[in-house]
Amino acid sequence: MITYIIVKCENHDYAKNRRAMSNKNNKNKAVRLSDVAAEANVSVITASRAMRAPEMVTPETRARVAAAVSSLGYVPNPAAQALASARSRIIGVVIPSLTNQIFGDLLSGVMDALEGGPYTPQFVNTRYRLSREEDLLRIFATQRPAGMIVVGIDQTETARNLLRDMACPVVQVMETGSDPIDMIVGCDQRAAGREAVAHLLEQGYRNIGFLGARMDPRAQRRLAGYHDALADHGIRADANRVVTTPQPSSFTIGGQLLSDLLARAPDTDAVFCNNDDVALGALFECQRRGISVPHQMGIVGFNDLDVVSSSVPTITSVRTHRYDTGRQAVRMILAALAGEEISARHIDAGFDLMARQSTARRGPAPGATS
Amino acid sequence: MITYIIVKCENHDYAKNRRAMSNKNNKNKAVRLSDVAAEANVSVITASRAMRAPEMVTPETRARVAAAVSSLGYVPNPAAQALASARSRIIGVVIPSLTNQIFGDLLSGVMDALEGGPYTPQFVNTRYRLSREEDLLRIFATQRPAGMIVVGIDQTETARNLLRDMACPVVQVMETGSDPIDMIVGCDQRAAGREAVAHLLEQGYRNIGFLGARMDPRAQRRLAGYHDALADHGIRADANRVVTTPQPSSFTIGGQLLSDLLARAPDTDAVFCNNDDVALGALFECQRRGISVPHQMGIVGFNDLDVVSSSVPTITSVRTHRYDTGRQAVRMILAALAGEEISARHIDAGFDLMARQSTARRGPAPGATS
DNA sequence: CTGTTAGCGCTTTCAT
DNA sequence: ATGAAAGCGCTAACAG
């Protein structure tokens, strides 16, 4: 299917270019702190202090250094800084996947909050494997990161120790929990699942199923919330109505899961889906089968991606604040690095049930707008 | 909407922890190359060579060093390596956005291809701003990256010079072009747009519109391809049928764009959409208005996201190989760094028109599976 | 408030 | 094939 067409061939020698550049009148030689110091007529350490701790030098020297910095176009060498101080400016971010939109949202929040500051995020991908998470943390440890952000609370004991040994602020994100490594921001996945299913019960649905792909720890907690809600209403859970797969979630898999569910329990009248991908896939499957949503089948998704508020019908979902969680995690780390008193080490970012047409069995359907 | 609940308050002193650790019997002190050398009874430089250039030392010393490395658990310090060699192990990746799924796919390919090797990707986000791209490249320059991957071919001249001055392999991705900075892998966006619209013409549609959100350079080229195809068939383009917005693309905006188009040109019988988000949004809008797809309206998307092959009807789209492009870009960089002869500096990753139900006006509709 | 002196852990260069 | 010496550019620790 993929075709590679060779259009042009010619080889470069990067090392040669580099050499050529260095020889050419030092033209491309990096400006060092000592150059700035010479220009400003101060010692190297004074120049350094003028930038890192302005209040420790006189305003006059500060200005001279600033002038030298901008006239020479000085930019510090991060490798030298890291080596000398045994601390890098890197904020490590450990996520389980990049192909899921929700992690993109989280990363956007992290990036935006870090923008303009001296710290740089570095993302790694565990692919949902705990052993890989440990390996990645060991690599991060050698970098002496300024801070760490990790998804979830299900790290192995080894991973927790690695994080603690980094002796830097650590924020766990996307969940809440009573025993965080250091700080935590996210939402209570189980409570959110419970509320989603409670909503279906309020709407009069009774034979409620659960569709789950991937079934990572957060999906497991949402499933626990599903059982909580049924128990709250004195409904006995039917194992046939819980259909899961270890495969990654996708729109396509949502349709398959619904088919499986209907084969096992044809009288199912509503489904709580692991996430919006699955929910939309389930909606499409209903359309294919001529099952009317919300009348014959109620559907609730999770995450409130943009797509569920524009589909026909719009899909009820639980909004989670992923972008904001990313920003908040960074703010917590920056505050800790600045030595500020951290008032909130454990933040519940909350969630919001967005009731829409896909569950509006009784009463007038909410409008198409979220 | 968002609630922050303070659950627990207590402050840590990371610096104190760090100090405590260092004092405790050197327990947590990093293993250095000199420790390995001492253990293996060789000089520091020999130990270094045993790892970086095994063929330069006797197999016997190589084995001794290897034993020392694993018994001590040595991991090199990247900051020291970067400082001494004036080269980091960082591969810089400059993308315009993280909230668009297609860049997530690209990053996945990059990450996967880099996995296990000594190089680390570092992602930055320009938010589609050329000035920000320049700033980010200046920051990368101080890191002496091992390689660079940048999206697109529309860098400013300043940005191109910054990239050249890094004297490292540079790969432009997602497009083709005759004047790349160094290497390039991607597809011909204009040709892809042309083929998409040619397909609509073949299916008998004549009043074909274009819906575009964001309108970044790649979207502009796809629009050029739209005009190409119309010209090929001797159809005069109608400016009223080209509806675009600078807003970011989303499912919701797709519906709005279609509404705008129908207000301006009610006799439109098909749309080529900038991307699949817009296409699906347009499909939903058709469903809301009772417009039958593909009979009254043909729809073609772009990128072939998972969702368009499971929707009802399934949506015709142009598959682009984003994950593979990311892998390929990394392979090109690694080959260049290894000093290999690069046979293909310009790779066309191609595209595939995936004809589906949303354009099956004549003949039997293709099945729901892609 | 400012300066001096030592490194950080590795690679480079030049010897042997 | 191996080694000794000299930094890379910055910051920490201590003096003044």
For residue A254, what pLDDT is reported?
A: 97
Q: Give the DSSP letter of residue A167.
A: T
B228's tokens:
């190409």
B24 touches chain A (CB under 8 A): no
Instruction: Using a CB–CB cutoff of 8 Å, tell me whether B165 touches chain A.
Output: yes
Q: Is A263 helix (H, G, I), strand (E, B) or coil?
A: helix
Helices A189-202 and A217-232, packing angle to 10 deg: 40
Task: Report if CB A56 to strand C is under 7 Å.
Answer: yes
A336 residue type, one letter: A
Q: Pairing state of beta strands A317-320 and A351-354? A: antiparallel
For residue B361, what are its two tokens? 């006006």
CB of B338 within 8 Å of any CB in chain A? no
Protein residue nearest nucleotide C2, by CA to C1': A46
* Cα–Cα dist A240/A298, whole Å: 18
Give the CA-to-C1' distance from A20 to D3 in angstroms.
30
Strands of the B147-151 sheet, one edge to the other: A5-6, B346-348, B183-186, B170-173, B147-151, B90-95, B120-125
Contact (CB<8Å) A111/B98: yes
pLDDT of residue B2: 39
The rounded Cα B337 to chain-centroid distance in angstroms is 21
What is the DSSP pairing of strand B170-173 with strand B147-151? parallel
Q: What is the pLDDT of residue A14?
A: 53
Distance B42 CA to C15 C1' (A): 17
| Cis peptide bond upstream of B313, omega within 30 | yes
Q: Nearest nucleotide (C1') to the CA of residue A35?
A: D9
Asked whether B22 and A165 are in contact (CB, 8 A), the reply is no
Query: Radius of gyration (Cα) for chain B, nearest Å?
Result: 27
Distance A145 CA to C2 C1' (A): 31
Q: Over the stretch B269-311, which tens digit does the pLDDT of each residue have? A: 999 999 999 999 999 999 999 999 999 999 999 999 999 999 9
Q: Which long-range contacts (CB under 8 A, 24 or more apart) does B128-132 make?
A: B128/B96, B128/B97, B128/B214, B128/B216, B130/B154, B130/B155, B130/B156, B130/B159
Query: Which residue from A minimizes the CA distance to B276?
Result: A307
Do residue B342 and residue A4 have CB atoms under 8 angstroms apart?
Answer: no
pLDDT number for residue B4: 39
Residue A105 sits at the chain B interface (C-beta within 8 Å): yes
Torsion of CA B361, B362, B368, B370, to 10 degrees: -100
Alpha carbons A47 and A32: distance in angstroms, whole number: 11
- Angstrom CA distances, A6 to A3, A168, A344, B183, B343, stand at 10, 48, 57, 11, 8
Whether the beta carbon of B70 falls within 7 A of nucleic chain C: the reply is no
CA B321 to chain CA centroid, Å, is 10
Q: Which residues pair with B4 in a beta bridge?
A: none
Grouped pLDDT means (10 residues each) for chain A, 370 residues: 35 44 45 87 87 83 88 90 91 93 94 92 94 93 94 96 93 95 97 98 97 96 98 95 96 96 97 97 97 97 96 97 97 90 89 98 54
The percentage of chain B sitting over the pLDDT mark of 90, rounded to a whole number, equals: 69
Tell me how far apart the alpha carbons of residues B187 and B340 are, in angstroms, rounded to a whole number.
24
| Beta-carbon contacts below 8 Å between A and B | 213
Taken as a whole, chain A contains a residue count of 370
Q: Does B126 touch chain A (CB under 8 A)?
A: no
Q: Three-state DSSP class for B244?
A: strand
The structure tokens 């700035």 sit at A36
The number of angstroms, rounded, from the C-alpha of A160 to the middle of its chain's C-alpha atoms is 19
Q: In what order do the strands lie in the sheet with A183-186?
A: A120-125, A90-95, A147-151, A170-173, A183-186, A346-348
User: For A39, how many CA atoms within 13 A lie in the half-sphere containing its CB?
Assistant: 20
Q: Do A310 and B284 touch (CB under 8 A)?
A: yes
Distance of CA A280 to the CA centre of its chain: 22
pLDDT confidence of residue B236 = 93
Q: Is A314 left (phi over 0), alpha (psi -120 to 50) or beta?
A: beta
> Among A188, A185, A181, which residue's Cα sits nearest to residue A173?
A185
Nearest to A104 among B9, B104, B284 (CB): B104
- Cβ of A83 within 8 Å of Cβ of B80? The answer is yes
How far B204 CA lies from chain A's nearest CA (Å)?
26
Q: Are A357 and A368 in contact (CB under 8 A)?
A: yes
CB neighbours of B27 closer than 8 A, spacing ≥ 6?
B21
CA distances to A40, A139, A272, B5 from A114, in Å: 30, 22, 36, 23
Cβ of A5 and B348 within 8 Å?
yes
Whole-angstrom distance, CA of residue A14 vs CA of residue A25: 19
Give, in order, the Cα–Cα distances in Å from A15 to each of A10, B119, B166, B167, B339: 16, 18, 11, 7, 10
Q: Are B241 and B265 in contact (CB under 8 A)?
A: yes
The pTM of the full predicted model, rounded to 2 decimals, is 0.89
Q: What is the pLDDT of residues B59-103, one digit of tens each?
A: 888 888 888 898 888 889 999 999 999 899 999 999 999 888 899
CA of B88: which chain A residue's CA is closest? A79
Q: Residue A95: count other Cβ atoms within 10 Å of its Cβ.
A: 24
Determine the distance between A82 (CA) and C15 (C1') in angstroms. Answer: 32
- How far apart are alpha carbons A150 and A171 in whole angstroms? 6
Backbone angles phi, psi at A50, to 5 degrees: -60, -25
Question: What integer best gives the mean pLDDT of chain B?
Answer: 89
Instruction: Give me the amino acid identity at A320.
Output: T
Sequence-ordered alpha helix ranges (H) in chain B: 14-23, 33-40, 44-52, 59-72, 78-85, 101-114, 130-143, 157-165, 189-202, 217-232, 251-264, 276-289, 322-337
Q: Is B53's CB less than 7 Å from nucleic acid strand C? A: no
Q: What's the pLDDT band for B106 if we cut at 50, 70, 90?
A: very high
CA torsion B74-B77-B82-B87 (nearest 10°) is 40
- Rounded CA separation A299/A301 (Å): 7
DSSP string, A194-237: HHHHHHHHHTT--SEEEEEES--HHHHHHHHHHHHHHHHTTPPP
Interface test with B, best of A22, A98, A179, A251 (most B CBs within 10 A): A98
Task: Determine the angle formed by the axes of helices A276-289 and A251-264, rounding to 10 degrees.
Answer: 60
Nearest CA in chain A to B288: A312
A341 class by beta-carbon count within 10 Å (0-12 exposed, 13-18 middle, 19+ buried): exposed
Q: In the structure encoding, which two tokens stand for residue B174, read together?
A: 């997602």
H/E segment holding residue A121: strand A120-125
C-alpha distance from residue B21 to each of A111, B17, B29 (Å) = 31, 6, 8
Residue B353, Cβ density class (10 Å: 0-12 exposed, 13-18 middle, ≥19 buried):
middle
How far apart CA B196 and CA B49 sit, in angstroms, is: 55
